[in-house]
Amino acid sequence: MPTARTKANRKYNEKAYDRIPVTVPKGDKEKIKAFAEKEGLSVNAFVNMAINKQMPQKPIIEAWNPARCPSCGEDLSESLGDGYYKHWYGKRVCDCGQKLNWEEEVT
């Protein structure tokens, strides 16, 4: 019989998270699990990270600073030496694998 804490956790998880069943070819489940463990991640964290890197994210752009990757923080600009930075708008994928979206939001 579940404890009150277990029931509360399940209720919270149902409210806060969506579940996505994933089907992989036979044998891949163990490969994914082993790779995730080697990286110090749970399978869930590893799969979430892989999915999120495929979804383009906006670089972090702050005044008087280089643009940075939202995943790893790598600089995505070069200094012009006068306090200004030239952003690498053509760079669509950071070295960490994160896809980038440089486009401005249309309002």
Contacts of 79 (CB under 8 A, 6+ apart): 66, 85
Quote the CA–CA distance of 8 and 23 in Å, as a whole number. 29
b/e code 44-53 from CB counts within 10 Å (16+ = b): eebbeeeeeb
Residue range 35-80, pLDDT digits in tens: 999 999 999 999 999 999 999 999 999 988 999 999 999 999 999 9
**pLDDT, mean over the chain:** 92
